[in-house]
Amino acid sequence: TGADPLGDLIDIGSGQGRVLKLLGSRAQRAVGVDIDSDARQLARAELLLAGVENCSLRKGDMYDLPFADGEFDTVILDDVLTDADRPMVALTEARRILKRGGRLFLLAKIGRGDVTSLERHFAEWCRVVDLRLATPRRIPSANARWLLAVATATDEQSVAA
């Protein structure tokens, strides 16, 4: 998966642009969405300094994203679901803007001993919004600080002839 093309990428909850700096240059187009204007301003500066030119930042609410259905090949929810008031609504919105055949990445910071709980939440949320979830990975594998899971839409095989 690391070498797969990212196509049009969106980072929901982009904050200061860490993920965009890391992956933006590998995407055809990269968009960061955050509701916090200070975070977007800092992210713009970080991306400019890093020389990542194909990224844009937009004000946006993860519960009501200003994008068309199926607009992105790669959707990243970067450590926003675990603190969300309505994680299912945010995940439903992320799924809505995901292109057919696209991938949705769920990232969450690991707290003390809550990895199993995080994995359960990811599995339940994805099941409810009709996403197929691959087995989550701990990153890095030793002394893991992050949990990463990749999901795809379950309706991929129901394409009408």
pLDDT at position 161 is 32
- Residues 6 or more apart from 56 whose CB is under 8 A from it? 29, 30, 31, 32
pTM above 0.95, yes or no: no
pLDDT average, residue stretch 130-143? 89
Higher-pLDDT residue of 93, 83 = 93
Q: Which sign does the torsion angle of CA 1, 132, 65, 15 carry?
A: negative
